[in-house]
């Protein structure tokens, strides 16, 4: 029987979930759903010094907003918990000890001062940053250099120690990456990574392997920055006797910004978000803007994110989540970096806003208007307004500028556009419009337009000369959808009131 597909996203909760992290989530999710498998969220919080309050909650919120919720996680439960590594602390030691007993790892008693001294003493022009590796471990204080009795004594005297992997002096470690194909590493270039820290906590390297094994992970997708750790992980799978169970790996390409790897700084410099949602850093009070608050629809967000590094081989660009689940394939992910283009991301959002029913946009638009203190929003009016203006909105936040005038009479007018051509004949024209519109029983855009044009013709005024003035009367400026559509939605009383008010100001 085929093994059930189980994939995981394993973030360290250190704050802010950037595009790269969200794309890892997305590819995991798509792969899991396509294969009727499970998507697991595991919190890798073994490094307590990097603990950030609220970061875990924030990750859940981002996944929820994007519609990429896991099947198992610290809050979704499942049969392989706990899903927070800090709560699994007791699990790891036995595996580290087993590695020592089998000769694949060793105790190291070096103090921070001794490690620093090693880095100074062995620094050469050729080797500017010496590492604890197959050469130097023979010169350090560990269970390979000390006698057995001494090691036992150190441990019984509770002298702090770590457990390090004993990297082979020279071995070729290979694996097949689903995106990159066959990859080889020379172990002589890799240092003896710490597996278990002095406080008994595992490091990432040990925890990731033990947990992927115990959680029956079949495929491990992660960012390219973890590629250099792969030889350590592969050896651990082998040394722990689990080689047959090892997941298939895929290392996802970097996301590039205007200056190489996309960074938070790029966002600040070029004015676009890099995080999924607003992130308030509790350490320094700094706020980094997110795609959600910038006005992106989750559908657009996952659509452009999916295409950062992947395509289905056709020209299609707009994909629903269901289509992505069907079409996604890891083999079609490029190994080269994927360039993030904010203008293109906005294009996706615009397309998605256009495609959405106004009904579905209503909650988000209502929130945006309420935030800008528009208190009373009539539900039916909101429906009509959204249908009328949605094609003009690139970001959800654009709905404010595009529709505020339906809810508020303008108090400022683009007078520089009106006044140079303003005069008695135009005043008379609009007075006649008021009279005509007051008697109007059919308040539809077509009738309003016909009447408007007839009155203009009768007064020998070209409609073009008064149309933009009419618009400014209703809206305040030269923007918005068709002016008669606006008047039709505003209704008779409101339209006439606005013309009258403008006549006292122009």
The residues that are catalytic are: 264
Kindly state the helix (H) or strand (E) to which residue 392 belongs, with its residue range.
none
Judged on CB neighbours under 10 Å (0-12, 13-18, 19+), 162 is buried
Distance CA 256, CA 288 (A): 19
Beta partners for residue 162, in sequence order: 108
- Which tokens hold the place of 224? 């390219």
204 belongs to the binding site for ligand GLU (CB under 6 A): yes
* Binding segment toward ligand GLU, per CB under 6 A, in 10-18, 161-169, 237-245, 450-458: 10-18
* Binding segment toward ligand GLU, per CB under 6 A, in 5-13, 130-138, 185-193, 287-295: 5-13
Least distance from C-beta 207 to ligand GLU, angstroms?
A: 9
* Binding segment toward ligand GLU, per CB under 6 A, in 8-16, 324-332, 397-405, 420-428: 8-16
Q: Is the peptide bond before 500 cis (omega within 30 degrees of 0)?
A: no
- List the one residue from 62, 162, 179, 208 that touches ligand GLU (CB under 6 A): 208
Least distance from C-beta 227 to ligand GLU, angstroms?
A: 11
- Which tokens hold the place of 209? 């392997």
Of 81 and 463, which CB lies nearer to ligand GLU in the complex structure? 81
347 belongs to the binding site for ligand GLU (CB under 6 A): no
- List the one residue from 137, 166, 197, 222 that touches ligand GLU (CB under 6 A): 222
231 belongs to the binding site for ligand GLU (CB under 6 A): no
- Which tokens hold the place of 417? 């556009």
Least distance from C-beta 248 to ligand GLU, angstroms?
A: 13
Of 247 and 410, which CB lies nearer to ligand GLU in the complex structure? 247
Least distance from C-beta 203 to ligand GLU, angstroms?
A: 11
DSSP 444-504: -HHHHHHHHHHHHHHTT--HHHHHHHHHHHHHSSS-SS-HHHHHHHH-HHHHHHHHHHHHH
Q: Count residues near ligand GLU (CB under 6 A).
A: 8
* Binding segment toward ligand GLU, per CB under 6 A, in 6-14, 269-277, 278-286, 368-376: 6-14
Least distance from C-beta 229 to ligand GLU, angstroms?
A: 8
* Helix (H/G/I), strand (E/B), else coil: 337: coil
197 belongs to the binding site for ligand GLU (CB under 6 A): no
10 belongs to the binding site for ligand GLU (CB under 6 A): yes
Of 213 and 470, which CB lies nearer to ligand GLU in the complex structure? 213
44 belongs to the binding site for ligand GLU (CB under 6 A): yes
Closest CA relative to residue 25, chosen from 5, 43, 14, 11: 11
178 belongs to the binding site for ligand GLU (CB under 6 A): no
Least distance from C-beta 43 to ligand GLU, angstroms?
A: 9
For the sheet with 255-257, list strands across it.
260-261, 255-257, 338-339
12 belongs to the binding site for ligand GLU (CB under 6 A): yes
31 belongs to the binding site for ligand GLU (CB under 6 A): no
What residues contact residue 56 under an 8 Å CB cut-off, 6+ apart? 13, 43, 45, 74, 84
Distance CA 472, CA 466 (A): 10
Of 96 and 208, which CB lies nearer to ligand GLU in the complex structure? 208
Q: How far is CA 243 from CA 234, 279, 500, in A?
A: 8, 40, 82
* Binding segment toward ligand GLU, per CB under 6 A, in 9-17, 32-40, 138-146, 148-156: 9-17
Q: How far is CA 489 from CA 264, 431, 498, in A?
A: 43, 21, 13
Beta partners for residue 257, in sequence order: 260
Q: Which residues bind ligand GLU (CB under 6 A)?
A: 10-12, 44, 204, 208, 222, 226
């Amino acid at each position: 029987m085929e093994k059930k597909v189980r994939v995981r996203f394993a973030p360290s909760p250190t704050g802010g979930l950037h595009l790269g992290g969200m794309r890892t989530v997305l590819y995991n999710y798509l792969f899991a759903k396509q294969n009727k498998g499970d998507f697991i969220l595991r919190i890798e919080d073994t490094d307590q010094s990097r603990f950030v309050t609220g970061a875990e909650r924030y990750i859940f919120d981002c996944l929820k907003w994007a519609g990429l919720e896991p099947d198992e996680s610290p809050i979704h439960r499942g049969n392989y918990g706990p899903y927070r590594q800090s709560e699994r602390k007791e699990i790891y030691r036995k595996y580290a000890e087993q590695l020592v007993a089998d000769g694949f790892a060793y105790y190291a008693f070096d103090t921070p001062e001794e490690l620093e001294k090693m880095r100074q003493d062995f620094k050469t022009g050729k080797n500017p940053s010496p590492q604890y590796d197959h050469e130097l471990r023979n010169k350090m204080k560990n269970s390979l250099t000390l006698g057995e009795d001494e090691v036992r004594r150190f441990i019984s005297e509770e002298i702090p120690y770590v457990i390090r992997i004993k990297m082979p002096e020279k071995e070729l470690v290979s694996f097949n990456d689903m995106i990159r194909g066959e990859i080889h590493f020379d172990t002589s270039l890799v240092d003896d990574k710490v597996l278990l820290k002095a406080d008994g906590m595992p490091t990432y390297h040990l925890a990731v392997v033990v947990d992927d094994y115990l959680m029956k992970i079949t495929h491990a997708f992660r960012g390219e920055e973890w590629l250099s750790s792969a030889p350590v992980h592969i050896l651990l799978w082998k040394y722990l006797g689990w080689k047959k169970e090892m997941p298939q790996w895929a290392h996802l390409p970097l996301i590039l910004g205007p200056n190489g790897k996309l960074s938070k700084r790029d966002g600040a410099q070029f004015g676009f978000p890099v995080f999924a949602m607003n992130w308030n850093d509790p350490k320094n009070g700094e706020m980094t803007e997110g795609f959600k608050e910038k006005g992106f629809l989750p559908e657009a967000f996952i659509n452009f994110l999916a295409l950062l590094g992947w395509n289905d081989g056709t020209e299609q660009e707009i994909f629903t989540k269901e289509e992505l689940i069907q079409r996604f394939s890891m083999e079609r992910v490029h190994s080269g970096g994927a360039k993030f283009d904010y203008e293109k991301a906005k294009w996706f959002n615009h397309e998605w806003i256009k495609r959405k029913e106004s009904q579905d946009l209503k909650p988000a638009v209502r929130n945006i208007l309420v935030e800008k203190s528009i208190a009373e929003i009539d539900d039916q009016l909101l429906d009509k307004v959204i249908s009328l203006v949605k094609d003009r909105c690139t970001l959800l936040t654009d709905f404010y500028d595009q529709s505020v005038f339906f809810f508020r009479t303008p108090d400022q007018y683009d007078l520089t556009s009106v006044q140079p051509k303003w005069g008695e004949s135009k005043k008379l024209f609009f007075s006649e419009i008021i009279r005509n519109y007051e008697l109007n029983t059919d308040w539809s855009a077509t009738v309003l337009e016909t009447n408007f044009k007839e009155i203009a013709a009768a007064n020998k005024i070209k409609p073009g000369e008064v149309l933009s003035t009419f618009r400014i009367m209703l809206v305040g400026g030269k923007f918005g959808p068709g002016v008669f559509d606006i008047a039709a939605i505003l209704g008779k009383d409101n339209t006439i009131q606005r013309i009258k008010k403008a006549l006292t100001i122009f």
